[in-house]
Amino acid sequence: MYDLLKLKLFCACLVILFVSCDQDVAYEENIAIPDGKWNRHNIAEFRTEIGDTLQPYNVYINVRNTGKYPKSNLYLFVTTTAPGGAYMRDTVECILADPSGQWRGKGFGSVWQNRFPYRKHVRFAEEGIYKIEVEQAMRLEDLPGIKDVGIRIEKVTD
């Protein structure tokens, strides 16, 4: 009986810890890349609702790669479309490995996770649903070694 109570208390503390760590996350979604090969025409699309145009946000790009990725960097095209139709397109370079070939990010086994800053202290101009599209901009039709790509938007609290 006492062990069961300790286990329940421990689980409750873990839940509180995990929930409190991400309280500033306004949006996060990751999309799995089929078969770990990112086709040039496979555009990852994310939609998020922004309700506060005064709140500053930090926007990140999440990438999970394997050791089968053939390059040290990854170029992406990122297109953000506002609710009113205005859009902005950027080319973003993500450095996945250092010059010696050592993978960056948090890894376990043969998979590494990186979170790259994309936009810092940005204020969205309109309320409504924003669409963010991420596509690989490398010269390969099918880019091996990319498991997931995602977007994370955090409220700036400082």
Q: What is the pLDDT of residue 1?
A: 54
The domain that holds 118 is classified in CATH as 2.60.120
Domain assignment present for residue 11? The answer is no
Q: What is the pLDDT of residue 7?
A: 43
Q: What is the pLDDT of residue 19?
A: 43
Q: What is the pLDDT of residue 158?
A: 78
In the chain, which ranges are continuous DSSP H helix? 2-21
Q: What is the pLDDT of residue 21?
A: 55
Return d(Cα 16, Cα 96) in angstroms, integer: 32
Return d(Cα 67, Cα 142) in angstroms, integer: 16
C-alpha triplet 82, 84, 90: angle, nearest 5°: 30
Domain assignment present for residue 150? The answer is yes
Domain assignment present for residue 46? The answer is yes
Range(s) of the domain holding residue 94: 25-155
Domain assignment present for residue 68? The answer is yes
Domain assignment present for residue 126? The answer is yes
Domain assignment present for residue 20? The answer is no
Question: Which one, of 111, 109, 114, lies nearest residue 96 by Cα?
Answer: 114
Domain assignment present for residue 112? The answer is yes
pLDDT digits 0-9 by tens, 8-53: 444 444 444 444 456 799 999 999 999 999 999 999 999 999 999 9
Q: What is the pLDDT of residue 128?
A: 98
pLDDT of 79 > 90? The answer is: yes
Residue 125 structure tokens: 């101009």
The residue-averaged pLDDT of 126-150 equals: 97
Are residues 73 and 95 in contact, defined by beta-carbon separation less than 8 angstroms?
yes
Q: What is the pLDDT of residue 22?
A: 65
- The pTM (predicted TM-score) of the whole model is 0.84
Domain assignment present for residue 39? The answer is yes
The residue-averaged pLDDT of 98-102 equals: 92
Are residues 35 and 144 in contact, defined by beta-carbon separation less than 8 angstroms?
no
Higher pLDDT, 54 or 1: 54
What's the number of domains the chain is made of?
1
φ/ψ of 56, rounded to 5, equals: -80, 145
